[in-house]
Amino acid sequence: QAFLDVCELFDITPVLATIPCCPLADHQYKNAWVRASGYRYIEFANAVNVTEDSTTWFDGMLSNDNIHPTAQGAKALASQVIVSVPEIVV
């Protein structure tokens, strides 16, 4: 909330993001908050997770450490930024 307060103070429009769940970390409660917040957000979780808030990633997207994306997963996340915030490439 402190981040959002600073954004409001300086008239900055925040862009939040969901966090992909993985076998080592469950971010469902954070993602639910982001989705319900009313703020603009990037849907990273759905970009790599098989189902919303699933810990299972699409094939080839999760690295062997079970927490970070592979190069393919990183490309999916980057593509989601462009879909959610298209003006970033202008």
Mean pLDDT over all residues of the chain?
A: 94
Query: What are 12's two structure tokens?
Result: 């900055």
- Per-residue pLDDT band for 3 (boundaries 50, 70, 90) equals very high
Strand residue runs (E) in the chain? 15-17, 40-42
What's residue 31's pLDDT?
95
- Residue written as token pair 């790599």: 48
In tens, the pLDDT along 14-58 reads 999 999 999 999 999 999 999 999 999 999 999 999 887 789 999
Contacts of 70 (CB under 8 A, 6+ apart): 60, 61, 62, 63
